[in-house]
A and B are shown apart, each in its own frame.
Chain A
Amino acid sequence: MKRLCFAIWLLPAVLWATHERQPKPNVNSRYTVEAVEVSGIAEAKLSRPLREDLQRMIGNKFDQERVDDLIKRMRGELPGRPIFAKLRRGTQPEHVKVLIVVARHEIGFKIAASNPMYHSKQGWSGKAEISSEIPDKGNNLFRFGVLSNADDLLERYVGLTAGYERRAIGTDKVRLKFDFETYHQIWNRTTLLELARAPEVPGIYRTRQNFQPMLSVLPARGLTLSLGTSFQRFQTQFPAARTEAANALVTTLRYDRQLEDSVANRHRLEAGYTLRAATRTLSSDFVYASHTWEFRYLLGRGRNRLENHFGAGVLTGRAPLFERFSLGNSYTLRGWNKFDVAPLGGNRTAHNELEYRYRWFRVFYDTGAVWNRGQSPSAKHSGGIGLGIHGFTIALAFPIKDGRAEPVFMAGLNF
Chain B
Amino acid sequence: MPRAQIACRCLLAGLAACSSIHAQPLVARLVNDHLRVAAPQLRFLTGKVLERLHNGAPVAIVFQLSLTPEGSLTATARDIARFVVSYDLWEEKFSVTGLSRPPGSASHLSAEAAQAWCIDALSLPVAGLAESRPFSLKLEGRVEEPTEEAGQEGEGGISLARLVELFSRRARGQQERWTAQAGPIRLADLRKSSRRAR
Contact = CB atoms under 8 A, between A and B. Distances in A.
Contacts of A88: 56, 89
Contacts of B154: 75-76, 79-80
Interface stretch (A117-125, A214-222, A237-245, A389-397): A389-397
B164 A391 contact: no
Given A68-B147, A79-B155, A83-B148, A25 B105 contact: yes
Given A15-B80, A71-B148, A75-B152, A391 B159 contact: yes
A76 B80 contact: no
Given A110-B161, A113-B160, A390-B157, A25 B82 contact: no
Contacts of B156: 79, 391, 414
Nearest to B93: A27
B28 to A, nearest CB: 21
A64 interface: yes
Interface residues of B, number: 38
A8 interface: yes
B64 to A, nearest CB: 7
B97 A25 contact: yes
A22 interface: yes
Interface in A200-222: none
Contacts of B158: 390-392, 413
Interface string A149-183: 00000000000000000000000000000000000
A11 B80 contact: yes
Contact of B160 (A12, A15, A89, A111): A111
B55 A27 contact: no
Contacts of A274: none
A72 B105 CA distance: 28
Contacts of B160: 111-113, 116, 128
Contacts of A391: 155-159
Nearest to A83: B148
Contacts, number: 115
A10 to B, nearest CB: 12
A81 to B, nearest CB: 8
B84 interface: yes
Contacts of B105: 25
B78 to A, nearest CB: 7
A12 B90 contact: no
A15 B87 CA distance: 25
B90 A89 contact: yes
Interface in B20-57: 55-57
A24 interface: yes
A128 to B, nearest CB: 7
A413 B159 CA distance: 7
A231 B62 CA distance: 59
B60 interface: yes
A84 interface: yes
B89 A111 contact: no
A71 B78 CA distance: 36
Nearest to A112: B161
Interface in A45-95: 64, 68, 71-72, 75-76, 79-80, 82-89, 93-94
Given A83-B148, A84-B148, A86-B55, A112 B159 contact: yes
B13 interface: no
A392 B157 contact: yes
A24 B60 contact: yes
B5 to A, nearest CB: 34
Contact of B82 (A5, A15, A116): A15
B90 A93 contact: yes
A24 B137 CA distance: 29
Interface of B: 55-58, 60, 62, 64, 74-75, 78, 80, 82, 84, 86-90, 95, 97, 99-100, 105, 107, 146-148, 152-161, 164
6 contacts: A72-B153, A79-B156, A80-B154, A84-B57, A96-B89, A113-B159
Interface of A: 5, 8, 11-12, 15-16, 19, 22, 24-28, 31, 64, 68, 71-72, 75-76, 79-80, 82-89, 93-94, 96, 110-113, 116, 128, 389-392, 413-414
